[in-house]
Chain A
């Protein structure tokens, strides 16, 4: 199913087969193309390049076009401080510095960076008709804070009327912005209002609800979808946020996902979030990301949930981390593996597999979830089953379904991370993809050849020439050397002339020849008694 379609389903609370995935790529798009935040956010061309790259790399169902909550503020007279790794920060607040509200005008589509945003939206719309485009606008409370500075918190109770006037203005700005973005082709309008995390539910209801509700109903009238983004400690406001009737709420790691799920679904609203931005996505490794993603996927469920980072991705987030999440989202089997590993990891014993695969036969291990319930697993097992008879008893295969504990131990010991995987003599050969017959045969044959080579190599031969008479032994020596050369063998020749030593070989009269075959049985480890007995039997 196409991304946009899938997201629409999730928004409509219809059950989905796969949870939609929306990586919030903002200035991270510039990281992908090697551009700093300022150049990126000022150029539609760079945004299109960055988002295109993100779509290519992360296979998302939806993406934000531009993630910058300072676009409106900049036009309204807030000074910005630009930084290479972050969106800009607002450093001055016109309404706190003497400007009057009546001096401010609603931005037109030609003001500030709006033309760039519109242009980028149009280009991306054309290029990716099937991916949901999120148009972001600054939420009225956050915009009001940009305009008034922290004075707003004092004014909330000292001069509520003034705050309401500013909120009304900011809502009109938001409405206009949504209009521009919807006309340019956005499917979803996200009202991003992180600063509401700073107020309690009563204040929210008094100062925020009446205004944002207008925005959401405006978007609905236009036949588009809406989302309410918040970040920070805003758990107290979730219910109030849902009451503003957005189509979706999106939150960060500061709010437990199950809490949001319960409230949102009870209000008939979809919800999204809340992968950990900094500790996991930016600073963690791929395993951390998969683990966090699986937690979110399991908590969110397949009805009304959209997997997303908690907020705008930090610019320098390692692309491998996001790709790991993408892969997981699209691979139900990998999800099962992580769940299985997660449960059992703590009690897991890791076996020493150094000597695995040293038997005469070649062992093919297929690590599966369970070939009965996992289709790719089944095909992989069948592929192996079909091929092994060609080797007439030289190759043995086994399936290890990780629903059993031993199999998990085995899998971890071989350092297998994906399901299904084929290992040949303990070495990972085919991961996730079913190998064509020819490839599988070739891989097994390669191993057989290698083993044969090792076997030949492990044999060491010596020829001992025993005798006290130098003339006799040297004649014999040159004859033996010639034979070795003609046969192309690797044999060491030793001369023994000491009477005592000669006697040790049970030789009473020289010259005599003893041929010795050695075979290296073990090296660097202490073999068990049973194993040593086996060796002795061969003699």
Chain B
């Protein structure tokens, strides 16, 4: 059985996630069976209702029972998602994650539970509202951890501000030096059903990506590595992975952002970091258990 690509679209309320989703549904729902998950920490599920009105064909799973913001609620999320997958057999799943949700934990959980046999994490998008991002310093905290783990950050509503895009780009790069940044209005951007984040590195392998043995893996750990052992660790695993990315806390009291593809390892020092070591990998040549064990060996 082919694995179902799972895409995360995060961003704060009003940033344009639903507009983006609508565009995706419009474009693909006739030929592809789309499963949408929504979890919004809002009075009522306005967005859900809005999507349903579009008249297009897709399956919707609404997580109204609290927002997926706390790891203690994720267990139930896994159960609902598993039921949803078994019932509707979507060919692609997109979660619209509210501004309060923890996208790293969502990634970790779909990559570790029994769901990992059916689903893999294909891409992680974060939509940023240019107008608000420029205006609101206070919001940065909440948006920044979603930006951290995003493959693509979309700066939306660029028409609403005259200047400052450059500054927003800098801020985003500061939080996540390897992310791809796209600018747009009305979320008018292309969405790739497959794995956009990988395609650019790995043209030929994209076909194999939804093969049954592709695993997406997430490690969240309090352990630290020395710079040297991090390099050894990455050189060991990157040739076997489509991609490895994330943030690692070093024994030298620094944090680095890393990005690896089969033939390259990039390490960039970060200014400051308030997170545990977080790593994501996609590979069909090793498992989370092996990878985790190896990280422990090097730490």
Q: Is B182 an interface residue (CB 8 A)?
A: no
Nearest CB in chain A: distance from B112 CB, A: 5
Q: Which residue of A lies closest to B297 (CB)?
A: A346
- Is residue A493 contacting chain B, with contact meaning CB distance below 8 A? no
Measured between C-beta atoms, what is the minimum distance from B252 to chain A in Å? Answer: 15
Contacts A256-B222, A278-B74, A314-B75 given; indicate if A194 touches B136 (C-beta within 8 A).
no
- B257: Cβ under 8 A from any A Cβ: no
* Residues on the A chain within 8 Å of B136, using CB: 157
CB contacts (< 8 Å) of A92 on chain B: these are: 43
Q: Beta-carbon contacts of B113-130 to A below 8 Å, as 1s and 0s?
A: 110000000000000000
Q: Are A311 and B71 in contact (CB under 8 A)?
A: yes
Alpha-carbon separation in the docked complex, A261 to B138 (Å): 27
Q: Are B75 and A257 in contact (CB under 8 A)?
A: no
Known: A89-B65, A235-B274. A283 touches B142 (CB 8 A): no
* Other-chain contact of B70, A83, A232, A299 (Cβ < 8 Å): A232
Question: Within 8 Å of chain A (Cβ to Cβ): is B189?
Answer: no
Q: Does A254 contact B (CB under 8 A)?
A: yes
Is B100 an interface residue, CB under 8 A from the partner? Answer: yes
Given A86-B66, A233-B274, answer yes or no on A96-B249 (Cβ-Cβ < 8 Å).
no
B76 touches A86 (CB 8 A): yes
Pair B42/A311 contact, Cβ less than 8 Å: no
Q: Give complex CA distance A317, B41 in Å.
A: 25
Are the C-beta atoms of A236 and B274 separated by less than 8 Å? yes
Contacts of B235 in A (CB 8 A): none
B94 within 8 A of A: no
Is A360 interfacial (CB 8 A cutoff)?
no
A156-B138 in contact (CB<8A): yes
The answer to whether B43 and A91 have CB atoms under 8 Å apart is: yes
A81 B65 Cβ-Cβ under 8 A? yes
Chain A residues, Cβ within 8 Å of B296: 342, 346
Please provide the 3 A-B residue pairs with the shortest distance between their CB atoms, ordered closest to farther. Answer: A89-B66, A235-B274, A256-B222
Select from chain B the residue with minimum beta-carbon distance to A156.
B138
**Which chain B residues in 65-87 approach chain A with CB under 8 Å?**
65-66, 69-76, 78-79
Contact A253 B71 (CB under 8 A): yes
B96 within 8 A of A: no
Contacts A254-B276, A279-B108, A279-B112 given; does A199 touch B222 at CB 8 Å = no
Q: Using Cβ atoms and an 8 Å threshold, which residues of chain A touch B151?
A: none
Question: How far is B275's CA from A513's CA once the two chains are assembled, in angstroms?
Answer: 86
Closest to A281 in B: B75
In the bound complex, do residue A299 and residue B222 qualify as a contact, i.e. CB atoms below 8 Å apart?
yes
Closest Cβ of chain B to A269, distance in Å, is 18
Contacts of B297 in A (CB 8 A): 346
Asked if B220 is an interface residue, CB under 8 A from chain A, the answer is: yes
Cβ contact within 8 Å between A316 and B75: yes
Q: Interface size (B, Cβ < 8 Å)? A: 47
Whether A147 is near chain B, meaning CB under 8 Å from some CB there, is no
For the complex, is A433 an interface residue (Cβ under 8 Å from B)?
no
Can you spell out 21 A-B residue pairs with CB atoms less than 8 angstroms apart? A91-B44, A91-B64, A153-B138, A199-B138, A199-B141, A199-B142, A200-B140, A203-B138, A235-B276, A236-B141, A252-B70, A258-B222, A278-B74, A283-B113, A299-B222, A310-B71, A316-B75, A317-B75, A342-B296, A346-B294, A346-B297
Flag if B274 contacts A96 (CB, 8 Å).
no
Output the nearest chain A residue to B99 by Cβ-Cβ distance.
Answer: A150
Whether B102 is near chain A, meaning CB under 8 Å from some CB there, is yes
For A264-278 the 0/1 string (1 means CB < 8 A from B) is: 000000000010111
- A-facing mask of B196-211, CB < 8 A → 1, else 0? 0000000000000000
- For the complex formed, measure the closest distance between the CB of B168 and the CB atoms of chain A, giving whole angstroms: 17
**Complex contact B73–A86 (CB within 8 A):** yes
Q: Which residues in B have their C-beta under 8 angstroms from that of A85?
A: 75-76, 79
Residue of A nearest to B293 (CB): A346
Q: Say yes or no: is A370 at the interface (Cβ < 8 Å to chain B).
A: no
Residues of A within 8 A of B44 (CB): 91
Alpha-carbon gap, A381 to B48, bound state (A): 67
Cβ-based interface call for B157 (8 A): no
- Would A198 and B222 be within 8 Å (CB), given that A86-B66, A233-B275, A235-B275 are in contact? no
- Whether A311 pairs with B141 at a CB distance below 8 angstroms is no
Contact B70 A231 (CB under 8 A): yes
Q: Kindly identify, within residues 278 to 317 of chain A, every residue whose CB is under 8 Å from any CB belonging to chain B.
A: 278-279, 282-283, 295, 299, 310-317
Known pairs A86-B76, A89-B66; A253 contacts B276 (CB<8 A): yes
Nearest-neighbor residue (CB-CB) of A70 within chain B: B66
B residues engaging A (CB < 8 A)?
13, 41-44, 64-66, 69-76, 78-79, 99-100, 102, 104-105, 108-109, 112-114, 136, 138-142, 145, 220, 222-223, 249, 274-277, 293-294, 296-297
Which chain B residues lie closer than 8 Å to A279 at the CB level? 108-109, 112-113
Chain A residues numbered 305-355 whose CB sits less than 8 Å from any CB in chain B: 310-317, 342, 345-346
The answer to whether B69 touches A194, judged by C-beta atoms less than 8 angstroms apart, is: yes
Assembly CA distance A369 to B253 (angstroms): 35
Which of B72, B79, B274, B275 contacts A312 (CB under 8 A)?
A: B72
Q: Which one of A156, A231, A256, A257 contacts B72 once the chains associate, using CB atoms below 8 Å?
A: A231
Contacts of B141 in A (CB 8 A): 198-200, 203, 236
**Smallest CB-CB separation from B218: which chain A residue?**
A279
Chain A residues in 8 Å Cβ range of B139: 153
Let me know if A255 and B113 touch, CB within 8 A: no
Q: Is A112 an interface residue (CB 8 A)?
A: no
Q: Is the CB of B75 within 8 A of A254?
A: no
CB <8 Å contact, A200 and B75: no
Q: Closest CB-CB distance, B135 to chain A, in whole Å?
A: 9
Which A residues are in CB contact (< 8 Å) with B140? 200
With an 8 A cutoff between CB atoms, is A149 at the interface? yes
A87 to chain B, nearest CB (A): 8
Q: Which of A96, A149, A259, A314 contacts B76 (CB 8 A)?
A: A314
A157 close to B138 (CB less than 8 A) = yes
A150-B41, A346-B293 known; 18 other A-B pairs, CB under 8 Å?
Answer: A81-B64, A83-B65, A150-B100, A198-B100, A200-B140, A231-B70, A233-B275, A252-B71, A254-B220, A258-B222, A274-B222, A277-B72, A278-B105, A279-B109, A279-B112, A313-B72, A315-B75, A345-B293
Bound-complex Cα distance A340 to B136 (A): 51
Chain B residues near A257 (CB-CB < 8 A):
222
A221 is an interface residue with CB less than 8 A from chain B = no
| Chain B residues in 8 Å Cβ range of A345 | 293
Complex CA distance for A199 and B64, rounded to whole angstroms? 23
Q: Does A93 contact B (CB under 8 A)?
A: yes
Cα separation A311 to B102 with both chains bound (whole Å) = 15
List A contacts of B142 (CB < 8 A).
153, 198-199
B100 to chain A, nearest CB (A): 6
Please indicate the chain B residues that have their CB under 8 angstroms from the CB of A86 in the complex.
65-66, 73, 76
Contact B42 A150 (CB under 8 A): yes
Also in contact, A311 and B43, with CB within 8 A (given A200-B141, A203-B141, A235-B275): no
Check if A372 is an interface residue, CB within 8 A of chain B. no
Contacts of B113 in A (CB 8 A): 279, 283
- Confirm or deny: A97 has a beta carbon within 8 angstroms of a beta carbon on chain B: yes
For the complex formed, measure the closest distance between the CB of B237 and the CB atoms of chain A, giving whole angstroms: 14
List of A residues within 8 angstroms of B138 by Cβ: 153, 156-157, 199-200, 203
In chain A between 196 and 255, which residues have their CB closer than 8 angstroms to a CB of chain B? 198-200, 203, 231-233, 235-236, 252-255
Closest A residue, CB atoms, query B77: A278
- A contact residues around B66 at 8 Å (CB): 86, 89-90
Query: Nearest-CB distance from B58 to chain A (Å)?
Result: 24
In Å, the complex CA distance between A93 and B67 comes to 14
A203 contact set on B, CB distance < 8 A:
138, 141
Instruction: State whether B108 touches A254 (Cβ < 8 A).
Output: no
